[in-house]
Copies of this chain bind each other. A is one copy, B any other.
């Protein structure tokens, strides 16, 4: 077997020890005589899996007691509708548009109330995170929405916007578990698991409990945070396999990595390796303002679109796959989530330098 270095923006690499555990347990989970994929979600054996997964998430992220955790389906795209359906109590909300998904979130929210764009970085093709003055906010926003790490454009918020009394709602799909987080600064955090946690098919929401129970009577049961959270994510059959895999990844972070502080050190070093190389030469360029550079998604271009294409082809042949940039940006993008080993980035940098020498 020859595993590749997969730089996909999501779904993306999973830690190999986690995959090996899943493989070993695939036909029989811990003496239960069943695969996790076959278990009744109401059985004692699955109950232990879902409860321990939530407990691990609470420990790893240090989630305060006044926050509830729910496991949902439909990805962050469904959360884009759930946020306004559950939280837009004043009829309006403030959105930051700093990339593709934050724009989609704002567009979806417009179906349910007034969306005020507090700030946008569209003027420079989303290569920075805009500053916001108090006057830019609307006077009666129910919440402020951000996408904290912009997967496509390779940026991240350096500081969080904060307004007293206005909950901050954040899509953390592409940076969750990459380092420690102060959950108490948010009203609601949500993330699709398929980038930095587990296989695609689940979103997790972490919500301050006073924000629950505000959905109107015509909100679908499955889009009401309270429905799912009141039933401890068992209102209907949950995505059991994703929950199990999330638990395995969290166990890996706790027991093998040593928690999110250690994870952040690893990620910072990994990203520095690539950014330092990018800044050391002129062949490749990264367009992002340095303080807003993402630790998870690193964009770069070679001198021409034709060269970009040749780079991606040669890289794939050398075992570095999914490096093509998003069509909105062009060039290349290396997504270096938690599960990408340091060695993968080091080898990519070496490959980039060899390619540069051959083509400069």
Instruction: Check A35/B10 contact, CB under 8 A, given A81-B221, A201-B73, A239-B239.
Output: no
Q: How far is the CA of A192 from the CA of B238 in the complex (A)?
A: 11
Q: How many subunits of this chain does the assembly comprise?
A: 2
Q: Which residue of B lies closest to A216 (CB)?
A: B111
Q: Which residues of B contact A220 (CB under 8 A)?
A: 78, 80-81, 85, 108, 111, 223
Q: How far is the CA of A349 from the CA of B87 in the complex (A)?
A: 53
Contact-residue size bin, chain A (C-beta under 8 Å from the other chain): 35 or more
Main SS class of interface, A: loop
A16-50 residues with Cβ-Cβ distance < 8 A to B are 16, 19-20, 22-23, 26-28, 32-41, 43
Select which of B1, B35, B74 is within 8 A of A74 by beta carbon. Answer: B74
Interface pair A34/B3, CB less than 8 Å apart: yes
Interface pair A9/B321, CB less than 8 Å apart: no
Question: Does A11 belong to the interface (CB within 8 Å)?
Answer: yes
A111-150 residues with Cβ-Cβ distance < 8 A to B are 111-112
Instruction: Check A6/B38 contact, CB under 8 A, given A27-B20, A74-B74, A322-B43.
Output: yes
B interface footprint on A38-79 (CB within 8 Å = 1, 0 otherwise): 111101000000000000000000000000000001111110
Question: Does A325 belong to the interface (CB within 8 Å)?
Answer: no
* Contacts from A to B (Cβ < 8 Å): 1-4, 6, 8-14, 16, 19-20, 22-23, 26-28, 32-41, 43, 73-78, 80-81, 85, 108, 111-112, 192, 194, 198-202, 217-223, 235-242, 245, 319, 321-322
The 7 closest A-B pairs by CB, nearest first: A4-B33, A81-B220, A201-B239, A37-B199, A73-B73, A8-B40, A77-B236
